[in-house]
Structure 1
């Protein structure tokens, strides 16, 4: 695909679509798309995906609509000429010329279609025509030359056929009820309010502020929203969660002990809280240990308070544990080594690490 075609293809997309493609290309891990998708996007749109330059806006129109407008302008020109209204005929001729300049032969039917005689029904009623329906005067606001011809009325979103209009002297109560009901716009019930803080799923769990609320888009059943910072991305209601400030059991830097977990390597270990939950819907704390970290629920932890050592560095102690070979020896405390099941101390290099129950203060009474 040439660069020119890539540029034209990129420019033909709505701005919202270009924003979505950039999100998919630049953050594939958040969308769980394979790398092949990124390569495919790059083949189609080229370096436009990563460029900050926005293409000039392109206007698009359905060809069927264009053909209809061109055909109607041509027919109206002919009618006005026959009626002697040269000024009006010139206006319709000007419309044809403008469409020709913009779209060329796209205004015409395809060659195969042009060989077929197409019969266009002539509307009996025109825009602005007033009719009485069940005692109420209604004004035609739009005419659709379909088969059958359909008419739209001011203040109503429902439409009627010519037969239904002709039967206005024999009103159909059910049809009148439909017209009345369709003129009432029902406000969707939104789950989130403007300015509310929400969690953005499929976007790394980050948070955002609701900036705009939209009705369901493109046939989906969910209400939609926009958030500050991503004005061109539309979020469905099921892609958001309310952000609630969590009630924290522990805080960053707090010392905790693991009291239950299937991982025996960290059971009863003491660690430090490194990260707390980001919202009330999650209760996972990141706990840092000497040889790694784990994410644990608050129910698996308990606060750990550093114990007050019984002995200080320099204290002279006696080994009182009869189960070890150094029983009866004396030693000097070198420092506090922390607590596992009980306080631990470093003593003379010749003796090593001892618990609080294995030593006692050296006195004249117990020197023997």
Structure 2
């Protein structure tokens, strides 16, 4: 499939209340709480940034908690210390490709802001995070990220180990939940992720999505619609090149052997049970028009002629498909109702 060349290019780029008790040994600031922001580095092509969220628990000058480092780590244990206004934190884990990641953070605290250096393995980045009023980061953990990676790879390449899902799942921060109906039974609080991708290098646009439940086995719905003809008036992502909303209505969702560019399926992968849509006119992915909610929250460095921007969006959508014996409706009232969820828009540009 043409999509393979996209991912070869894509894969090449390898966020309070405060008081100070003074400074010096045995005297420390209070930094309990949730801190969000980004680590970033300035390059010739601009400032590259990756989101960060830390849940910090403080006991005296000792720090613990959980940390998320965008693109690299999800809900890993924090260890560290604070003396005066100087903070040292470390956390370790694995990225979506199971490569080891070692993070050390060295910052100074002023009011509700920490600035300093984040070291990822041997590379140093500027860090800027601020105290929030949140009680938790509410980001995905590594098990959820890995589950999305497998399902996205199934949707794009019919292979849970393909690199495509690992790349896209690395952009995950918060994950919304949704209700759906499978074979007449309604299920609630399944995780959903929708990615809309515009590749301005290969002149390609596609939507890939997954709804998963990892609490009772590896179960999920996935769909993939890839536009191989950008000159027609059928759109496959809900934003135009000026970031304005547009309608998406893709019918005839089917299986890989019939059309690898219009796939929808449900699987209980713990039991190897799977069924695909059968390509009927009623098998539909519908998007009322994507809404861009903020500027890019993640930008990758230029590498091998490409760089990537990731934006938060909202998508009002429904999905319905069947194969005669089985059916999936998202939300449960589909195709007679839509549900709006947070999603991601990914833009791949030459540099």
**Per the shorter chain, which TM-score range?**
under 0.3
TM-score using structure 2 length: 0.22
In our comparison, the structure showing a higher alpha carbon Rg is 1
Higher relative contact order (CA 8 A, sep 6+): 2
Structure showing the higher helix proportion among its residues: 1
